[in-house]
Structure 1
């Protein structure tokens, strides 16, 4: 998936689980554009993972083996926590 095809990426962010939508969509809408291209690639690779795996990672039930993926999960969690603390 092309890192600049935001329509397709937006569609890929829409998952089958509400919990994933709540975690992934705000990050995409608020933070994706400011990521360096390398991190955009990692985010896209993350979107290619299956929902159950993403859920386990985002809910701290497991950690991705790949360091870049683990860093992206932590970044998503941190950004979302910062947003919710402002509400």
Structure 2
């Protein structure tokens, strides 16, 4: 998927699990534009995984073997935690 096709990426962010929508959509809407092209590619690559796997990673039930995916998961978690603390 092209990292500049925000419409398609936005659609891919919409998941079948509410918990994933709550984690992924705010990150995309608030932080995606500020990512480097490499991080955008990692984020798009992350979206290719199935919902159960993403859920396990985002809920700290498992860790991706790929270091870049693990870094992206931690970035999503950190940014979302920062937003919650400001609310």
TM-score band, normalised by the shorter chain? over 0.9
Distance, in Å, in 1 between the alignment partners of 2:47 and 2:9 is: 8
Matching residue of 1:13:
13
Give deviations 1:42-70, integer Å, cap 9, x for gaps: 00000000000000000000000000000
TM-score, with length taken from structure 2: 1.00
TM-score, with length taken from structure 1: 1.00
Distance, in Å, in 1 between the alignment partners of 2:27 and 2:20 is: 11
Matching residue of 1:69:
69
- Note the residue ranges of structure 1 that are not aligned, 5 or more in a row: none
Give structure 1 regions of 4+ aligned residues with deviation exceeding 2 angstroms. Answer: none
- Note the residue ranges of structure 2 that are not aligned, 5 or more in a row: none
Matching residue of 1:44:
44
Structure 2 counterpart SS, 1:4? coil
Between the two proteins, the alignment pairs up a number of residues equal to 87
Distance, in Å, in 2 between the alignment partners of 1:4 and 1:46 is: 16
Aligned-residue Cα RMSD (Å) equals 0.2
